[in-house]
Structure 1
Amino acid sequence: MMERQDRYLPFAFISVFYILVTYLMSRQAWFNPTMAIIMISMTTVVISTNLITYFWKISAHAAGVAGWLGFILVFSLLYSKGNTLFWPLIAAVILTGLVIWSRLYLNAHRPSESLAGFVLGFLVCFSSVLLFV
């Protein structure tokens, strides 16, 4: 979707989907508070990306992979004893770099749009786990 206006309807459906899935999963007995924080932070990133899209074309791809990077980094910091998250952290860093590079290479985003998506995804996901878990 090269134009910002083309993203309105799909992003609205994605936002509703995330809200619905988060709500339905939170009603399950196996759904623990840590999982709730993760789902709520992912939903927050999706809704924020959707709202920002009405004014500016932020990179949802960068926000998604940066959120994953934020989760892995904060969990590796919180649970550093016996940490087995080293290789997933390396993979997340590489994947984040590749995704952002590909969005720039394909001229799908400007560097500022990719950087803003990265900052949004990383900060929301990293800080929500750090503050609430």
Structure 2
Amino acid sequence: MGAEPLETLMKLAVVGFVFIYTFALPAYFVYLLKRWGMISSLKLENLKDRRLPYFVTALIYNALGYFLYSKNSMLFPCGFVLWSIAAVILCVGIISLWWQISAHAAGVGGMIGALAGILVQFGEHSLFFPLLFLIILAGYVISARLALNAHTPAQVGAGFLLGLGLSLASIYVLF
């Protein structure tokens, strides 16, 4: 009974830590780039403006993944998942040097790949309905990108397959 508040506090600390590394730091970096005149808009509408944020975000995710991995705790597997996310972001950044690929589709593909891989690899059947929800959400996200003429079918297809493939491969190879 005495450990429950501590466990809750630890969970909140981990969520806060992950929020800082996965949202706050990358967002602040984009703000700094805009302030320094290195990008034209905070919306990152130009492909050229997205390149540096992709690489820095991948670096930040790698750092967080290493931190979680090095603590050798229950968060150890989260480090591998973050490395797989960083790999997807890095690949999107590299591909975007030559061709526009959908980062949104890569993101939803990566989430589906990670959940599907964990479900199959570890028999976590409780992930079935969240996976089903993500598949439906992916349909909406990809349809929206196409409806907005933000991407071609090839760009969203390539992004989705990149995220799905890298995440699935990461789960199977690393676990």
Q: Please report the TM-score for the alignment, with normalisation by the length of structure 2.
A: 0.68
Residue 108 of structure 1, CA deviation: 1.0
Question: Which of the residues 118, 126, 142 maps onto 1:75?
Answer: 118
What's the counterpart of residue 19 of structure 1? Answer: 62
Distance 1:132-1:25 versus aligned 2 partners, 3 A rule: closer
Residue 29 of structure 1, CA deviation: 4.1
What's the counterpart of residue 49 of structure 1? Answer: 92
Residue 79 of structure 1, CA deviation: 3.2
Aligned residues: 131
Structure number with greater CO (CA < 8 Å, separation at least 6) is 1
Does residue 59 in structure 1 map to residue 102 in structure 2? yes
Structure of higher CA gyration radius: 2
- Partner amino acid for 1:53? S
Does residue 119 in structure 1 map to residue 161 in structure 2? yes
Distance 1:54-1:37 versus aligned 2 partners, 3 A rule: same
Q: Any gaps of 5 or more consecutive residues in structure 1?
A: none
Q: Please report the TM-score for the alignment, with normalisation by the length of structure 1.
A: 0.88
Q: Any gaps of 5 or more consecutive residues in structure 2?
A: 1-43
Contact 1:2 1:108 in 2 (8 A): no
Runs of 4+ residues over 4 Å off in structure 1? none
What's the counterpart of residue 173 of structure 2? Answer: 131
Q: CA RMSD, aligned part only?
A: 1.7
Once the two structures are aligned, what percentage of the paired residues are identical? 32
